[in-house]
């Protein structure tokens, strides 16, 4: 974990709070709070769900280090929703107020360029949106696997390892599918020798044959 962000905020004297989420932990962001802070995810990977008071939830995005988490732009009535940020791996955050940032703008702007942070975060939101662009659960799951391979994958001989645990329940949350259907899709991909799912460690391995199949069928 890099201490660059922590050192920067200490030197700038901008008030901040430091948080850590372990894998599977989450924090809730409610819009009706008086002061709407911004949060920098400076290490780790999380996914965000928009949760409605009736219990329904919608996947929002997968974010990784050097992303801004800021929901003040939401157009929904704050009485009906909240956001849940869930760690896919151990993740670290800095929470601060933009008003405090502005007072130290001359110092921080030489190191932090907010427009770059927001641009990178927007890029991740856009990439995440492709996961839900398919009507079919199978292709939503496949698109999620491709996202993980592209953004986080570790290349080996003829396969790509997704370097953190991901349960089928998490896949079902992100793709908006029920766990039974996700299980069937994973079994299908395993039987076709496209992926390998190590249940004990919840590790996914994607073989190049999956990419070839998708390319041949013009799915990617």
- Residue 134 has a pLDDT of 84
Q: Which pLDDT belongs to residue 167? A: 87
Number of other residues whose CB lies within 10 A of the CB of residue 173:
19
So where are the chain's domains? 4-132, 134-217
Q: Average pLDDT by consecutive 10-residue portion of the chain (220 residues)? A: 71 82 91 70 94 90 90 65 92 82 56 73 89 88 90 87 88 93 91 83 80 73
**What is the structure's pLDDT at 79?**
72
pLDDT at site 108: 55
DSSP string, 131-142: GGG-SSHHHHHH
Cα 108 to its chain centre, rounded Å, is 26
In the chain, which ranges are continuous DSSP H helix? 4-12, 98-103, 105-108, 114-129, 137-152, 168-175, 179-191, 208-216
Fold assignment, 134-217:
Arc Repressor Mutant, subunit A (1.10.10)
What CATH number does domain 4-132 carry, 2.60.120.10, 3.90.226.30, 3.30.1390.20, 3.40.1260.10?
2.60.120.10
- CA 63 → CA 6, 66, 82, 157, distances in Å? 19, 9, 18, 27
pLDDT of residue 75: 55
């Amino acid at each position: 974990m890099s201490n660059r962000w922590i050192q920067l905020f200490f030197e700038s004297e901008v008030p901040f709070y430091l948080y850590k989420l372990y894998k599977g932990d989450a924090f809730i962001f409610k819009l009706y709070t008086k002061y709407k802070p911004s949060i920098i995810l400076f290490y780790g990977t999380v996914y965000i769900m928009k949760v409605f008071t009736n219990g329904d939830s919608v996947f929002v995005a997968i974010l990784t280090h050097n992303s801004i988490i800021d929901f003040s732009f939401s157009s929904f009535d704050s009485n009906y929703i909240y956001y849940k940020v869930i760690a896919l791996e151990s993740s670290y955050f800095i929470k601060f107020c933009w008003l405090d940032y502005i007072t130290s703008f001359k110092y921080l702007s030489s190191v932090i360029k907010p427009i770059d942070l927001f641009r990178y975060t927007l890029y991740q939101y856009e990439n995440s949106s492709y996961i839900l662009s398919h009507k079919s659960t199978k292709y939503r799951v496949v698109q999620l696997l491709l996202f993980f391979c592209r953004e986080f994958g570790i290349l080996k001989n003829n396969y790509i390892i997704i370097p953190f645990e991901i349960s089928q329940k998490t896949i079902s949350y992100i793709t908006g599918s029920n766990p039974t259907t996700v299980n069937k899709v994973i079994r299908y991909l395993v039987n076709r020798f496209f992926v390998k799912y190590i249940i004990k460690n919840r590790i996914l391995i994607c073989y190049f044959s999956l990419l070839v199949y998708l390319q041949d069928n013009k799915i990617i």
